[in-house]
Amino acid sequence: MRQGLAVLGSWLAALLLSCAVMTGLAAAQPVLDVGPGDQTLGLNGHMALLLDPAGTLTPEQAMAPAARDRFRSLPISLSLGYDPATAWLRFALRNSGPDPRSMYLDLEPSFVDHIDVFLPAPGGYRTVRLGDHVRIADKPVFSMNNVAPVDLPPGAVVEVFVRVQTTSSLLLRATLRSERSLERSGTEMALVLGLYVGLAFVVGAINLIFWWWVGWPAHFWYAAYVISLGVVSAVTMGVVPVWIFPDHPAWSDLAVGCANGLSCAVGCYFAIAVLELRQRSRPLYYLYHAIALFCLVGAASPFLGFYQQMAGPMLIAVLVVLFVAMVESYRFARQGSGPARLFLISFAAQVFGLSFTIFRVVGLLPTMEWTDYGYQVASAIHMILMNIGLAQRMKDADALALAAQAEALALAQQAESRAQAIAVERTRDFEAAKLRAEAALAAEQEAQRTQVRFIDVISHQYRTPLSVIAANIEGIGISLGEADRANQRRIDRIRRAVGRLVAMIDVSLDRSRLDGPPLEPRRRRIAPWPMLRQAVQRVRDTLGDRTIALQLDPAIDGATIDADPEMIELALINLIENAVKFSRPDQPVDVVATVRDDALHVAVRDRGIGIPPADRDQVFQKFYRASNASDRPGVGIGLQLVAQLIHAHGGTIRVDSVENEGTTFTVVLRLAPVPAGA
């Protein structure tokens, strides 16, 4: 089907015309009488039509007597749709007044490609070339329509021939006007066009502002759509060849086809956005995209030479788009959407106006003034109602947003109140827990103080008999003679045993005090080497049968530290005793003291059972014992006390161990700064 539904409409129109002319209207048409004064005379019913399908008839052949019998009466204006044939029109005018008349033959619409008007002249006919393929400068009258001046002598009958050729719809309405009527008609056309195009651009600008403000895509596509409607009307009503391309009239056809195609495509995208088809109906979403693509091909068809085949189907596609949009708006409105009711009426108005246009261009309606402006009126109603609907939707969206904001605020206030109640409740719980913890801490501190007092009492009770034993041993030693070597050795062993017992009591007392209430180090500047030797000696006196080797770096002689010597000595005694406890009896324990990096490094190294890797990070925790130390005496508080003492002095302690090979604990204490000028 070469021209689709548009051609079908053309055939139907031609059939109607044929039925009319076959009723015996082959006779001459009534002559149109032109009287004096201001006149506007339509030529409907006064014209005869001859179709030249091949377009080969010359003016001489069409005007020959043999061809006159082939003209058939045309009861209405020329309206054959998208028919590629050439149309010849013939009509007669008579000046019934006493004076010569100068009238103007006004031929519409303006987008017809070629209109040749043949007027009587001395010796034959003269040709006036019109149509949108003729430059404005070459036309006899400056007008958006095609206007030819006609001179009518008084009482004479003037026969006029008109040849029409076009690639667009084969339409023509002829009106004979006086000069004032022509001016009035031009003013009316300019006013209608100006109002319509102005409305389109104002509505478009408003929606572009709304789109920039709220970001809803429907505003952007509607702005593009209504602006395209204004452009289409300006193009089809002759603005383009008059004002835009006066020297390139052939470009008007390209502008008409391109504007129609783009308007259709943009309208599809607007319908997708405003009806939310992507979310509401995927089939319609894809259908509209397909129609938009088809219309874009239609926009390119004038440049490719097949616009006449695309124009009819493209108009039908637009009608389908608008009709489906009207149905979807109805469904949307039934769901309670207020703006959708306005969308429904708006789309219905556009469908009504576009139907007039389609019926006119395919030849089902005559080209009359009310059909020309019917589309503009319906389209203006469409623009106004749609713009109101979009504004209403934006208002409803703002109302919903405000309601959601108010609801969110109420929920936030409820959450805040609940959080405050929870905070008050948790605060009471924390206060109660704090009181319980403080009571527990006070009880623990009191227990520790009781423990320290108990240890002090025990120490005092032990020291008194030990002092008596020591005094008696000294007396016995004095009473023995120098020669009694055997008893002197026994006395020495008793004396050392009493000393070890006193030292053990002192260490236990110090440990108990440190594990009780916190103690601050009583710092003073001391040389470290005497403290180191004393700590090693105290362990030797307590464990006289074990080898403990002390190695001092010569650089230690001039070094000093700010420390509590009793605390540091107690820490070292604990480390050395630990090393002895976890070593075999035949293995020595090394105590190595060095000075480097402005710090005193004391390493206590044994060759014992070592510490498993999984236990090394926890050996300084209270009551923690390595997994391989279950057969050794102890409760796991010695190393915790050592770490507590060293950290109280701002020092560090680290452990390096290889299981079944030995362990090294290294204490690092910062050296005291050297006084200025020393």
Q: How confident is the model at residue 395 (pLDDT cuts 50, 70, 90)?
A: confident
Among 234-248, 270-284, 473-487, the least confident range: 234-248
Q: How confident is the model at residue 163 (pLDDT cuts 50, 70, 90)?
A: very high
Question: CA-based diameter of the chain, in Å?
Answer: 186
Region 4-177: CATH code: 2.60.40.2380
Give percent of the chain with pLDDT exceeding 70: 82
- For residue 23, the SS3 value is coil
Among 93-97, 359-363, 519-523, top mean pLDDT goes to 93-97
- CA 34, CA 95: separation in Å to the nearest integer? 5
- CA 22, CA 40: separation in Å to the nearest integer? 30
From first CA to last CA, the distance across the chain in angstroms is: 115
Return the structure tokens found at 487. 């008893």
Q: Is the CB of residue 154 less than 8 Å from the CB of residue 94?
A: no
Residue type, 7: V
Exposure string over 83-96, b if 16+ CB within 10 A, otherwise e: bbbbbbbbbbbbbe
Among 139-143, 469-473, 633-637, top mean pLDDT goes to 139-143
Q: Is the CB of residue 624 less than 8 Å from the CB of residue 647?
A: no
Give residue 513's pLDDT.
Answer: 53
- CA 40, CA 103: separation in Å to the nearest integer? 10
Please tell me the pTM assigned to this model.
0.53
| Fold observed for domain 520-670 | Heat Shock Protein 90 (3.30.565)
Give residue 286's pLDDT.
Answer: 92
Residue 394: pLDDT over 70: yes
Among 202-206, 425-429, 434-438, top mean pLDDT goes to 202-206
Q: Mean pLDDT over residues 215-239, rounded?
A: 84
Tens digit of pLDDT for each residue in 39-73? 899 998 899 999 999 989 999 999 988 888 899 99
Residue 347: pLDDT over 80: yes
Q: Give helix 282-304 / helix 307-334 axis angle, nearest 10°.
A: 160
Residue extents of the structural domains in the chain: 4-177, 188-402, 405-498, 520-670
Q: What is the phi/psi pair of residue 119, to 5°?
A: -110, 145
Q: Is pLDDT larger for residue 200 or for residue 624?
A: 200
- CA 360, CA 354: separation in Å to the nearest integer? 10
Average pLDDT, the chain: 81
Residue 10: pLDDT over 60: no
Residues with Cβ < 8 Å from 548, sequence gap 6 or more? 536, 539, 540, 576, 580, 588, 589, 591
Alpha-carbon dihedral 506, 511, 512, 517, rounded to 10 degrees: 130
Residues with Cβ < 8 Å from 392, sequence gap 6 or more? 338, 339, 342
Q: Which contiguous run of DSSP H or E holds residue 516? A: none
Q: How confident is the model at residue 16 (pLDDT cuts 50, 70, 90)?
A: very low
Residues with Cβ < 8 Å from 53, sequence gap 6 or more? 84, 85, 86
CA geometry: angle 282, 285, 291, nearest 5 deg: 145
Give residue 615's pLDDT.
Answer: 81
Report CA 285 to chain centroid distance, whole Å.
Answer: 22
Q: How confident is the model at residue 118 (pLDDT cuts 50, 70, 90)?
A: very high
Q: Which contiguous run of DSSP H or E holds residue 458? A: helix 369-479
Q: Is the CB of residue 531 less than 8 Å from the CB of residue 569?
A: yes
Q: How confident is the model at residue 447 (pLDDT cuts 50, 70, 90)?
A: low
- Give just the sign of the alpha carbon dihedral 237, 239, 241, 245: negative
Q: Is the CB of residue 268 less than 8 Å from the CB of residue 288?
A: yes
Give residue 153's pLDDT.
Answer: 92
- CA 565, CA 552: separation in Å to the nearest integer? 17
DSSP 673: P
Give percent of the chain with pLDDT exceeding 90: 18
| Fold observed for domain 188-402 | Rhopdopsin 7-helix transmembrane proteins (1.20.1070)
- For residue 551, the SS3 value is strand
Q: How confident is the model at residue 455 (pLDDT cuts 50, 70, 90)?
A: low
Q: What is the DSSP string of 135-166?
A: -GGGSSS-SSSEEEEEEE-BT-EEEEEEEEE-
Give residue 97's pLDDT.
Answer: 85
Give residue 317's pLDDT.
Answer: 85
- For residue 388, the SS3 value is helix
Cα Rg of the chain (Å, integer): 58
Q: What is the DSSP string of 239-306?
A: HIIIII-TT-TTHHHHHHHHHHHHHHHHHHHHHHHHTTHHHH-HHHHHHHHHHHHHHHHHHHHHHHT-
Among 131-140, 455-464, 633-642, the least confident range: 455-464
Q: How confident is the model at residue 79 (pLDDT cuts 50, 70, 90)?
A: confident
Exposure string over 613-624, b if 16+ CB within 10 A, otherwise e: eebbeebbeeee
Tens digit of pLDDT for each residue in 270-307? 889 888 888 888 899 999 999 999 999 988 988 888 87
Give residue 504's pLDDT.
Answer: 61
Q: How confident is the model at residue 369 (pLDDT cuts 50, 70, 90)?
A: low
